Structure 1
């Protein structure tokens, strides 16, 4: 939704974080893969293949230098993929905490972002239900 506001390097770094976060619960679910594909289209990086998974700490360190707006966009969009299955597991929550701490985003802001993404997902689902009846 907001990935077009990131520069190309930030978009690539985001796609690496997204791919990494997908595996934190032990599997890559179909819903997550579909969202990642949408993210690639949004970034106009359809052919991008995550190849820096072992460098995730370096990617986080690089993104620490981004603006607060970029960091919040990354969290919003990551919650989009983390909530694809309807919940954030313990490992995913730990990863968000690491990001938030590194990004210097307060816990209440992260909670607010998560609530907003959950509400947005509910609204989108309700829209599909409305048009399907």
Structure 2
């Protein structure tokens, strides 16, 4: 939703984190794969531009000078990825905590991001409002969280 704000290096680092999260539970679920390719498209990147991540510290160094908003966007999207397959594996939780700490995302903000995605499911599943209104509402709520 907001990935177009990232520069190319930030986008590559984000995609490396995506791979790490998606594989942390040893299952790269179909929903995660679909989202992976959607992310590539949104970032205007090719799959072969994303090196395997052997060291998360190198990613943290790359993202160290990114703005707070961009680091929030990255973490926000990673939470969505972790929740998309309906499973929130313990390894994913641990990795997300580590990433959040290294990106200097406040704990309250991390919780708010997770709650957003739980609310997203509720709004999308139970609301009778048309889809475009739902998306506008969710985007507006996400924008407030990222501020």
Please report the TM-score for the alignment, with normalisation by the length of structure 1: 0.86
Aligned equivalent of 1:102: 102
Name the counterpart of 1:2: 2
| Pairs within 5 Å for 1:20-31 | 20-31=20-31
Cα distance per residue 1:9-60 (max 9 Å; x no partner): 1111101110111001111110100011111111111x22332311322112
1:48 and 2:47 matched: yes
Q: TM-score by structure 2 length?
A: 0.79
Distance 1:5 1:51 in 2: 21
Contact between 1:4 and 1:42, CA under 8 Å: does it hold in 2? yes
Deviation >6 Å, runs of 4+:
none
The correspondence of residues 113-124 of structure 1 with structure 2, limited to 5 A, is 113-124=113-124
RMSD (Å), alpha carbons: 2.0
Which residue of structure 1 lines up, in the alignment, with residue 68 of structure 2?
A: 68
> How many pairs align?
129
CA distance in 2, matches of 1:76, 1:35: 14
Distance in 2 of aligned mates of 1:67 and 1:122:
31
